[in-house]
Structure 1
Amino acid sequence: MFKSVLIANRGEIAVRVLRACRALGIRGIAVYSDADAAGLHVRLADKAVCIGPAPARESYLNARAILAAARKHHAEAVHPGYGLLAENAAFAQAVVDHGVAFIGPAPETIAEMGDKVAARAAAERAEVPVLPGTQALHDAEQATDAGADIGYPLLVKSSFGGGGRGMRVVRQPNELADAVRDAGKEAAAAFGRAELFLERYLPRPRHVEVQLLADAHGTVVHLGDRDCSVQRRHQKLVEEAPAPGLPEELRSRLTQAAVRLARETRYVGVGTIEFLVDPATAEFYFLEMNTRLQVEHGVTELTSGIDLVQEQILVASGEPLDVDQDAVRPRGHAIQARLVAEDPYAGFRPAPGTVHDLHLPTGPWLRLDFGIDAGDRVPAEYDSLFGKLLAWGPNRDTARRRLATALDELRVSGIPHTGDYLRTILERPDFLAARHDTGSVERDWQPDPAAQPLPTDVRTKPVRAPDPVSTREVSLHTDHGPVHVLVYGCGDHDPVTPPAPSPVGPRGTPYTESAESTGESRAPMDASVAKVLVTEGAQVAARDVLVVLEAMKMEIEITASHPGTVRQVLVSSGESVSAGAVLVTLDG
């Protein structure tokens, strides 16, 4: 067994891995950037090492700095968590080359399954169904020919990476060239690789995945399936295990296909095979393999009783699995809500900031995986996820009601977040009947500004009045979810007016901010400048994009609210800006 493990990640997953190490009696070494110097994972680690400034490319994506920390502090293994370098084959190889164990599959397996075209080929060898698609494309003309063969609608997809980046839905042939150009640019910026391929588009699929566990001695087991169909921008918001409403024959075919693919790739470690399921035909198709721990691994742990992180560490140290397939008997149902620093009532706009107060729910059937405490900052430089709230029950409805109660009790002040919105999803008729699909949020469940709860600061902080005034908090349950109201006693005091709700961004599109009528375009949040698309003296039309910001792995387009001439450009690409900073000024 390893004596020390370095966790090459941050936030709640770093906290999760540190706790698993502690349970195994292993020394946990954390790394952190300047932005995370006071982070919870830093405070919990046995040793914490600063590896660079806030930008991820200079710290958490800096393999050289991470390996130097591992050598200096005698780490025997590196756990990559998820995201960042977790599925970077070159990083995994560098770890092994430095004589340190990598807690994950072999670098060549990561490389094969990280290339979506190669992964499709592996799935076909394992007789796992795949959607009609192409090899890697080299130009728009080749895409046009391939599109005619596949048929429309289709998807343009990046061959590398994930999270919905480098992906475009194309419904008509005349849209294909622009989609290929835009997806290629986005993929190159996000992953450093611009290769694309085409795949048939399923209009209303469910996203179902199978959790795998395999050791170096040839044992492969599945731990059941999960449904991850509640998504926005192809990123998950609610996950549950097992997937509700699947015919048992279909469930069996899914899990058997996943095990076949793991054996085909000689997989070792924890991994997940993701599928698209067509409810109309009860057919399924390979989507991708994640060669790492998943954000939603906790729901499988609650139903299986198996600690996946500890199993990862044990398998990486050479231990055989102590469980066989017959012994895996999932019990009950678990549902997870992802809590992210985004404003659902403003097009899921990123909302970094400081968490002033944090009240976490308690209860016998809850699990809380958080990477923050009250007073901590959720930085703009990284993913917006700051916590996960999970509930278990003997059946789906019990788990759902327990999670709903927990979300009612949750209080997070200082930043907008998804908790209240996800509470409303749990009451949606299509969710209750498991009729939802991957497009439900953007197509049918757009957040309703009329149902937006009072800001948490108003709900949880007493309002100072000129004279003492009594207050009490009342929770009202509505068709749109819980609304928490502060009731004030009588007196000659000015009424308290809560801030007006934020505007809702375009449905299914990246959030955009327009320049104010004064001609000043400002940053709506702390962010970095990804692109500056105008120069001083340029003529612009209304809705022309002036600047593209990036915050929490999301691009925000800053557009002109009216025609005019660019008077000043006050930022440059790569620069960090604070909320409210003036980016561009316009005359006219």
Structure 2
Amino acid sequence: MLFDRVLIANRGEIAVRVIRTLRRLGITSVAVHTPSDAGARHVLEADLALQVPKYLDIEAIIGAAHAAGAQAVHPGYGFLSENAAFARRCAEAGLVFVGPPAAAIEAMGDKIRAKATVSAAGVPVVPGGAEPGDSLESWRDFPALIKPSAGGGGKGMVLVRSAAELPDALESARRTARAAFGDGTLLIERYVESPRHIEIQVLADTHGDVVHLGERECSLQRRHQKIIEEAPSPFVSPETRARMGSAAVEAARAVGYVGAGTVEFIVDGTTGAYHFMEMNTRLQVEHPVTELVTGLDLVELQLRVAAGERLPFGQQDVRLDGHAVEARVYAEDPARGFLPTGGHVLVLREPSDGVRVDSGLVEGGVVGSEFDPMLSKVVAWAPDRESALRTLDRGLARTAVLGVVTNIPFLRALAGHPAVRAGELDTGLVERVLPELVPSVEVPGEVLAAAALAFHAMPQGDDPWEVTDGWRIGEPAWTTWRLESRGGVHAVQVRGLPGESAEIRMNDETVPARLQHSGADLTVTIGGRTDGYLHVRHADTLWLGRDGEAWALTRHLIGDPGDRPGAADMGDGVVRSPMPGTVLVVKAQVGERVREGQPLVIVEAMKMEHTVTAPRDGVVSELPVQAGQPVDMDAVLAVVSTGEL
């Protein structure tokens, strides 16, 4: 018998996704949230919501489950999903943990132990050594990959190509492992050249039944983090699928696995030889592509298995239909080295037809620096791979998050890259072609013109004399709009009434222009070209969105003469925060003379520190932040002037 109430010990898009299945099954959903997450989408969509101090507070989660009358806890992924202590604590508290037994989590959570366990079960593993029994300093089979034994998600992994690199690499990996996982134990493995990352979805019940649901191709990665995933793999033949699936089933059996899990393999892209890497003892971020090609709801199956039911099908019943591709939408800026971003979600548009969107976003919400920057997933299905990629691209083009910089243009470029279209993938592909994928910070001319026209059409104040129609005796006057973007400062001239007939002058060319708007939708005709945008103004910044791209253009520049005392000579001396976060350290003071490159402020976000330096020699004329202060992306941290104060 299924549960009446289930608490979800997670947040964001996975919590919303679990709620969707619970609602369909008629099960009451219970959300938890921290004080800063009270308005989050998963809280709004759940049947009940309770506040906890932190998502990692096990006793608070247990207490919330009891208070809500829940019989089971679904951990989603991340946070507590692979925490054996949490699984045990749920059992002690009389709650069903919707996941594997604690012993299975422990067996697969330690990479060294996991390799030994599956190897004994006949599953092929990558040759390697491990501490504490082996002296990794004596390893001589290069190239090699160092990994933290207790870790995951690519953290602490270091590629070593020679014996000379090994000592420093071991020291670096051990330091990262201790900081990230509290355990500096390492293992080393032979590095597979041109590797593909292919994983097998498994399901197991408490009656001894174990099946696999085919593979997912997860080779499109950056810094060991997956970006786009698909099912099935364009590389795997039916015969290889059967062999890898059988190996994955044996790996699950070897640890007495129960529930949904993923066995990850590294596959030689030349020979097709595959080796066990690790097992993720939870639902995966990329599980929707498996759901779309199998027609199964993995969360429902997790719940039924946790309630003691048998799997309702056998291996012979599993069929893969069509092709599915998923892209992860992150609050990050590819043009700034993929630094995490954030801000207020001013306008949100997510496609509702043709693709599946798993999202934790809500219009008016805040994307901060406390949590993982993944915002949503756009997932496309089609009868064949080429059509699925086209459908994914259309879905991404119809996705807009104004107010937060995202990686959507990068995703579109990656999904459309010739190597990706051809299925010629390996885990190093993204890094090799990265310059081709990162969007330019330059703003297209038609977007600048649209922004100037939009500013021109907006009321600039309550005074009728401030109407910017350029009226004067004789012909209308030109109004010059100076707009700042990350690509620089741009001047665009406008005259006339944009809603009737206006003119734009830019780069010594004058063309007719017209603007129409309805809510957030904006239609702009400049010359003979008509474009549709989403738009919203936030203070002196106008956000424009089109085809998955978004631009933030600001008027009232710091540096405009007359804008503020002493501002005329600031120019590029304005120092802005590269990401939303918290000021950790202020390393300068007003009046101090600094050199170009000298550290001024250290900003922390998502456990990552970024040192902001002086852009030129000069004097610190403004320093409006202090340690402990939260800051938005592009917030002014300091101003370095060229003259004396």
TM-score above 0.5, yes or no:
yes
Matching of residues 353-502 of structure 1 within 5 Å:
353-363=343-353, 365-446=354-435, 447-450=437-440, 463-465=454-456, 466-467=468-469, 468-470=497-499, 487-488=525-526
TM superposition shift of 1:570: 7.6
TM superposition shift of 1:452: 6.7
Once residues 544 and 71 of structure 1 are traced to their aligned partners in structure 2, the CA distance between those partners, rounded to angstroms, is 54
TM superposition shift of 1:329: 0.6
Tell me the SS of whatever aligns to 2:128. Answer: coil
Once residues 390 and 36 of structure 1 are traced to their aligned partners in structure 2, the CA distance between those partners, rounded to angstroms, is 26
Q: Which amino acid aligns with 2:430?
A: V
Q: Which amino acid aligns with 1:36?
A: D
Q: Which amino acid aligns with 1:128?
A: V
Match of 1:276 among 252, 257, 266: 266
Q: Give the corresponding residue for 1:311.
A: 301
Tell me the SS of whatever aligns to 1:400. Answer: helix
Q: Which amino acid aligns with 1:312?
A: Q
TM superposition shift of 1:216: 0.4
Q: Which amino acid aligns with 2:107?
A: E
Q: Give the corresponding residue for 1:527.
A: 581
Q: 1:152 to 1:520 in 2, by over 3 A?
A: farther
Q: 1:27 to 1:254 in 2, by over 3 A?
A: same
TM superposition shift of 1:192: 2.4
In structure 2, the gaps of 5 or more residues are 457-467, 470-496, 500-512, 517-521, 529-541, 545-550, 555-569
Q: In the alignment, is the contact (CA less than 8 A) between 1:571 and 1:583 conserved in 2?
A: no
Number of residues of Structure 1 aligned to a counterpart in Structure 2: 545
Structure showing greater radius of gyration is: 2
Once residues 541 and 184 of structure 1 are traced to their aligned partners in structure 2, the CA distance between those partners, rounded to angstroms, is 35
Q: Which amino acid aligns with 1:334?
A: A
Match of 1:97 among 64, 88, 92: 92
TM superposition shift of 1:23: 1.4
Once residues 69 and 75 of structure 2 are traced to their aligned partners in structure 1, the CA distance between those partners, rounded to angstroms, is 17
Q: Which amino acid aligns with 2:240?
A: L
Q: Give the corresponding residue for 2:163.
A: 173
Summarize deviations over 1:47-75 as a string: whole Å, max 9, x none: 111112xxxxxx01111211111122221
Match of 2:333 among 320, 327, 343: 343
> What is the TM-score normalised by the length of structure 1?
0.83
In structure 1, the gaps of 5 or more residues are 53-58, 475-483, 491-495, 502-515
Summarize deviations over 1:330-367 as a string: whole Å, max 9, x none: 1010001111111122211101111111122243x411
Match of 1:182 among 172, 185, 188: 172
Q: In the alignment, is the contact (CA less than 8 A) between 2:339 and 2:579 conserved in 1?
A: no
Q: Give the corresponding residue for 1:213.
A: 203
Deviates more, 1:112-121 or 1:184-193: 184-193
Matching of residues 17-166 of structure 1 within 5 Å:
17-52=18-53, 59-137=54-132, 142-145=135-138, 147-148=139-140, 151-166=141-156
Once residues 94 and 433 of structure 1 are traced to their aligned partners in structure 2, the CA distance between those partners, rounded to angstroms, is 48
Q: Give the corresponding residue for 1:198.
A: 188
TM superposition shift of 1:422: 1.0
Among the aligned pairs, what percent are the same residue? Answer: 44
> What is the TM-score normalised by the length of structure 2?
0.76
Tell me the SS of whatever aligns to 2:356. Answer: strand
Q: In the alignment, is the contact (CA less than 8 A) between 2:197 and 2:264 conserved in 1?
A: yes
Q: Give the corresponding residue for 1:55.
A: none
TM superposition shift of 1:264: 1.0
TM superposition shift of 1:9: 0.3
Tell me the SS of whatever aligns to 2:455. Answer: coil
Q: In the alignment, is the contact (CA less than 8 A) between 1:414 and 1:457 conserved in 2?
A: no
Summarize deviations over 1:287-346 as a string: whole Å, max 9, x none: 110100001100000000010001101111111111111111110100011111111222
Match of 1:263 among 246, 253, 258: 253
Q: In the alignment, is the contact (CA less than 8 A) between 1:80 and 1:86 conserved in 2?
A: yes
Tell me the SS of whatever aligns to 2:377. Answer: strand
TM superposition shift of 1:376: 1.5
Q: Which amino acid aligns with 1:142?
A: S
Q: 1:472 to 1:168 in 2, by over 3 A?
A: farther
Q: Which amino acid aligns with 1:144?
A: E
Q: Give the corresponding residue for 1:300.
A: 290
Bigger relative contact order, structure 1 or 2 (CA pairs below 8 A, ≥6 apart): 1
